[in-house]
Amino acid sequence: MPSSLLARFAQNIFWMARYIERAENIARILDINETYTREAHGEPDWQRVLELYSDTERFSESHDKADSAAVLNFYILERDNPTSIAAAVRMARENARSVRHLISTEMWTHLNIVHGRIAGLTQRDLRPSQVSRRCGEIKEACQTFEGITEGTFFRGPARCFYSIGKYIERADQTTRVLQMGYERLTASDAAEDAISTVQWNALLRSVAAYHAFRSLHPSGLEPRTIAAFLLFDHGFPRAVALCVDRVTQLLEVLAARHDLPRHEGIDGARNHLVFTLNTGLGEKVTRRRLHVFLDKLQLALTRLSGEITCYYFEIH
């Protein structure tokens, strides 16, 4: 690691990006779930959100029922919940504080504003009539931070680590949303009905993919087409394949332009991820095969993140 970017600073920047991306994704999923996804008796299906983040057990330790008030409080306000928006924004700010000398003044200022707004929210702000507005404000704040970063963050090794963290987190979030949606919505290959159409729309909106998908597929919501789009379409910014390509390119930039030598462990993890993505699914998409494939992708992303941590962030 060159002296201009110490290991701990690279790690701070990597995780700052991941936490901001995570906060935006959680806000979008909560908003879409509140608006579109309903159980048989017409209430938002909050259990599906807990399953998405593997939080059912931790949630049940302090809450009796997965209703709107409890789940929204759990995912927006509870700083002790590591998968909450409050925790993600707080951790993004703490990481940013450590690299204040490396990021732009505009990035730091905006992140402080976002942190203050989230910290000031109360349960009164999460009333049913306010949920969509609050989630929209959080999404917009995170997107604004990304725009500020794009316009002010110097294109050096620090920016590479920021983008690598962002794309790893984005790919992971897309696989989780697709896994949850495909398993719950695809009971068979039967024709669409009104309920499943709304739910597939909700899944696409959960990753901000609805309009992009419709630009290529103006009619119909065939599950395998949706899965292929979210996994492999290089024109969609949250597609797993595009995220993996960006990570690969950024690792090459670190090696070629910024004097960070290639490392066997990172190359092996990256090659394994690319191989898994390109060969693991096959032409026949079933719930079982997709479930196994997405599990392998998540493990491959975790492995790559771990190798990056081991080689670039730990002091040897």
Among the listed residues 246, 256, 252, 286, the one whose alpha carbon sits nearest the alpha carbon of residue 267 = 252
H/E run at residue 71: helix 68-72
Q: Tell me: the pLDDT tens digits for 82-95?
A: 999 999 999 999 99
Q: Tell me the C-alpha distance between 97 and 297, whole Å.
A: 32
Q: What is the pTM of this model?
A: 0.92
pLDDT for res 190: 46
Task: Give the pLDDT mean for 218-244.
Answer: 93
Give domain limits for the chain: 1-153, 155-316
Give the residue ranges of DSSP H helices in 99-222.
105-119, 131-152, 157-185, 194-206, 210-216
Please, are residues 123 and 71 in contact by the beta-carbon 8 Å criterion? no
Q: Residue 89 corresponds to which amino acid?
A: V
Of the pLDDT bands very low, low, confident and very high (cuts 50, 70, 90), residue 286 is confident
Residue identified by tokens 């908003």 is 31
The tally of CA atoms less than 13 A away on the side-chain side of residue 36 is 19
Quote the tokens at residue 22. 């995570």
Among the listed residues 303, 166, 153, 285, the one whose alpha carbon sits nearest the alpha carbon of residue 231 = 285
Mean pLDDT of the chain: 90
Q: Tell me: the pLDDT tens digits for 32-67?
A: 888 776 554 567 789 889 998 999 999 999 999 999
Hey, CA dihedral for 262, 266, 272, 275, is it positive or negative?
Answer: negative
H/E run at residue 257: helix 240-257
pLDDT over 50 at 2, yes or no:
no
pLDDT over 70 at 4, yes or no:
no
For the chain, how long is the longest CA-to-CA vector?
60
